[in-house]
Amino acid sequence: MSDKAIVTKIITDNLAKVAKLPEKRPHNDKDCVNCGGCGKTTEMIETTALNLVGAKLGDVVFIESDEKKSIWLMVILIVGPILIPLTFYMIAASVGFPGVIGGIAAAFGLFLAYRIIKYYNNKVANEAPITRIVGIQEQETRVQI
């Protein structure tokens, strides 16, 4: 997945904060401005990006995200807290404990989902960012930040 963004802050030589404003995309069916699905159609979306191309503050850049990591992150954050407690409850109910024991099993499943999310968050925090800058748009003047 690639997009345009503006470099808002240089963190280190290899890391930069970039901000992207959702925009209308006539080249495909993803119309961010008119969708409203995420509720942030007018806000800048800011992320940390790997800056190996030497982009400077105010540059309009092309960014790209690692889709496999993004999808895995969505699965863990969205499906995990729903599916794991439900699975624990169903196991407890299938062996004859649908009441309080089933609720305790579901609560344990929710705690387990929390621990999995926490572990994955710590693992991802120590890796390179999911987003990287792949190019700089040619222009005469930089955008003033």
What pLDDT, on the 0 to 100 scale, is given for residue 78? Answer: 87
Bridge partners for 133 per DSSP? 63
Total-model pTM: 0.61
pLDDT for the residue 81? 92
What b/e string do you get for 29-49 counting C-beta neighbours within 10 Å, with b at 16 or more? eeebeeeeeeeebeeeeeeeb
Mean pLDDT, contiguous 10-residue spans, the chain (145 residues): 86 90 55 55 78 90 85 85 94 91 94 92 81 82 59
Tell me what pLDDT residue 112 has: 95
Burial zone of 141 (CB within 10 Å; 0-12 exposed, 13-18 middle, 19+ buried)? exposed
The rounded distance, in Å, linking the Cα atoms of 121 and 82 is: 18
Place of tokens 């690692």: 66
